Amino acid sequence: MSKEYESLACKIVEYVGGKDNVNDVYHCQTRLRFKLADEEKADQKKLEDLDGVSKVMISGGVYQVIIGTHVKYVFEEIEKLIGPRKAEAGDRQEKSEKKSVMGVIIDFVSGTFQPVIPALSGAGMVKALLALLVVFGLISTESQTYYILNFFADGVFYFLPIMLAFTEAQKLKCNPILAASVAAIMLHPNWGTLVAAGEAVHLFGVVPLRLTLYTSSVIPIILVILVQSYVERWLEKHIPNAVKLVFVPMLTFLVMGTLGLAVLGPIGSVVGEYLGVFFNFLSENASWAPAVLVGAFLPIMVMFGLHNGVAPLGVMQMADLGYDSIFGPGCVCSNIAQGTAALVVAIRTKEAKIKQLSVSGGITALMGITEPVLYGVNLPKKYPLVAAMIGGGCGGLFAGLTHTHRFATGSSGLPAVLLYIGDDSIECLINICIALVISAVVTAVVTYLLSLKFETGISAEKGEEMPEFLQIETGKEIRREHGEVKAPLKGKLMTLEQIGDGVFSEGVLGQGCGIFPEEGKVYAPFEGTVVSVADTGHAIGIESEEGIQLLIHVGLDTVALQGEGFSPCVKEGDKVTCGQKLMDFELEKIAEKYPVVTAVIVTNSDDYETVTAGSPGTVSPEDTVLNVR
């Protein structure tokens, strides 16, 4: 099947700089992820113009090409073109990348849980099928058929620690077979017999072992394999090669078997028990909160990768309580809302390419995959994203208030409603269907109303083209005050599109320009008030007396520097005069790690008729770079 994507794969490899520029490439559900030797060799514009590519994003040193649900077929053709990945170069680059603590945690959690999702999804659908058979009276819960089909699904959850041990070991680069074997020690039936007997157990008559079952658990095995990775590396380093094959596994089993049952397993079990208490507290006292937060803010979580840290909480809750109310309900409401928003855009927009992408991406989002429509339609246009967040939050609120939960893990689109059949009841199925209707209706209404403002050139009454003077009056709420923005830096002025970042270049945050700085100083571009200073010092927000709200963002992805190299000279609330210094930054030091092109964005551009940038060239603080009318 992948042969039909051969041409697209060839073009992608060409536009990322050729196969010699690719240190590593892999894929997730919707996107190709490249680690490039030199990102400057990649042509983002040509990539995004390709039929079959929805969007290109650069995040955390990874060049992401968003394809859609058929990404694996494109990946197969790319693998043929570039051959085996250059492991050494890729590893060196990965080690050189600096990640925040939160980024490291999310990357670890994601790498551990994501590979087991297909197994959990398959088991979930078996559970849903079994529940349907029971609800419609086709089989009895006392029958052998029910008994057998039930352990078809339960097997995945029963042996979940073994699968997590394997995937975590792969993530931590230790031996996954040894890790799975250690998990098997903790799940051995003989250990279950000792626990069931309820009598004190001591290893060597001295070391006490806490009587705890580890089937279907999550936290204990994560702690055990985390420690095992260090133990295994130490053994590999100190045991002679001649006997390493025998003694490393033997000592790993003895050390980790003892630590697992005596220390780490019990600690993880206690943590799991407290998590269970927390989950129960949420269910009884704030059942609405998780579904509302995930329903409303999942698109933002996806953009920053935070959903990979939240989704496993649902898996943990399911392993502990048998259902998930943390992530599933809000996620499916959010996805339906995004798909609905895109389909409304398809009706309202006059742009042929956006219309086509909205239809295909909208349908895909309704099936549970939202990245193509998120990055291709909703985020660039902004207003459908806002509408989807409102609709998803409303649907999530209903799901939370009615204590709706899913009984198995699986996709988060329309087919996922089957996962809400359980406990020999269809109550949760009915509730989630109502929640999805709420999400879709609210999103559709809000998207349509916002489109009256943001889809300029469309008549509010008939969808007809309007003369320019009518577009100005009904398409935008224009401020009568206007003003000029002086250059906040000395350097070379460039257009917004030349900045090379999707969020800035496409005007997601507003219209403006870019400046490639020649010195590490930022000046006030007009008289006004400082409204924000980033905690990491790399960005400053300032508002003029006329009401122009301006963002000055020094460099791309410089937030990752955590303030290193930035020295703001002002604080929030300060009054400043035109030309007053706002910030010092270490230009050369920052340029060694990240592009230093600075975005100068009028964040309330929609309040004005036009935001016009000056001609490209060298500018100084006394030069006007933006005219706002």
> Strand, coil or helix: what is 487?
coil
| Contact between residue 526 and residue 486 where contact means Cβ atoms under 8 Å apart | yes
Please enumerate in sequence order all residues whose Cβ is within 8 A of that of 370, keeping only pairs 6 or more positions apart, or say none: 299, 302, 334, 335, 338, 339, 364
Q: Is 484 helix (H, G, I), strand (E, B) or coil?
A: strand
Among 324, 310, 320, 291, which Cα is nearest to 405's? 324
**Residue 259 identity:** L
53-57: long-range pairs with CB below 8 Å, 24+? 53/8, 53/12, 54/357, 54/361, 54/371, 54/372, 54/375, 54/376, 55/372, 55/375, 55/376, 55/502, 56/502, 57/31, 57/375, 57/502
Residue 561 vs residues 34, 137, 591: alpha-carbon distances, Å: 22, 61, 11
Q: What is the DSSP letter of 422?
A: B
What are the backbone dihedrals phi and psi of residue 202, each rounded to the nearest 5 degrees, phi first? -130, 130
The position carrying tokens 């900045």 is 499
376 Cβ contact list (under 8 Å, min separation 6): 54, 55, 66, 357, 361
Take residue 248 and report the two structure tokens written for it. Answer: 């490393």
Take residue 45 and report the two structure tokens written for it: 């514009």
Question: Sign (positive/negative) of CA torsion 573, 578, 584, 586?
Answer: positive
Which residue has tokens 């003989």?
190
The CA distance from 288 to 296, in Å, is 12
50, exposed or middle or buried, with CB in 10 Å at 0-12, 13-18, 19+? Answer: middle
Alpha carbon distances (Å) from 161 to 71, 126, 188, 295, 392: 30, 20, 12, 29, 33
Q: How far is CA 59 from the centre of its chain?
A: 11
Decide if 611 contacts 579 (C-beta within 8 A). Answer: no
28 is catalytic: yes
- Separation of alpha carbons 325 and 75, rounded Å: 34
Q: Which of 27, 4, 1 is nearest to 79 (CA)?
A: 27
- Which of 28, 433, 569, 578 is flagged as catalytic? 28
Residues belonging to the active site: 28
